[in-house]
Amino acid sequence: MTPIKALRKYCIWCCAGQIKQVDPCTTYGCPLHLFRHGKKPRNKPYTVLKAIRLRCLNCSDGFENVKRCEFNGKIDDLCDLYTYRLGKNPARTGVGGSGKPFKSK
């Protein structure tokens, strides 16, 4: 599952499974709000992974608690954001070479 799909699934869960409630969501303080439709908006202040990271920090009350998150599948309720909670996409590990940003000429 991609980060944007995980985020969308989480938003549907947050709205008690009511897909029609995701669109009129009024939780503007939530970092996921801009991405709730499962699409990347044009003018966004941060990336999808950063939004997930901010949400997890908010939920867990701190970085160390995010690392030790208990919603990792060991219990029945697996959080859809769990895989991306550290702000990284594990499917892209090793992609991009040296890790330096790409500079176009």
**For residue range 61-104, what is the model confidence (pLDDT) as tens digits?**
888 888 888 776 555 567 888 889 888 888 887 766 555 555 55
Is 18's pLDDT higher than 90? Answer: yes
The pLDDT confidence band at residue 53, using thresholds 50, 70 and 90, is very high
Model pLDDT, residue 4: 93
Global pTM value: 0.78
CA atoms of 85 and 102, how far apart (whole Å): 25
Q: What are the angstrom distances between the C-alpha of 71 and each of 1, 42, 80?
A: 17, 31, 9
Predicted local confidence at residue 49, as pLDDT: 93
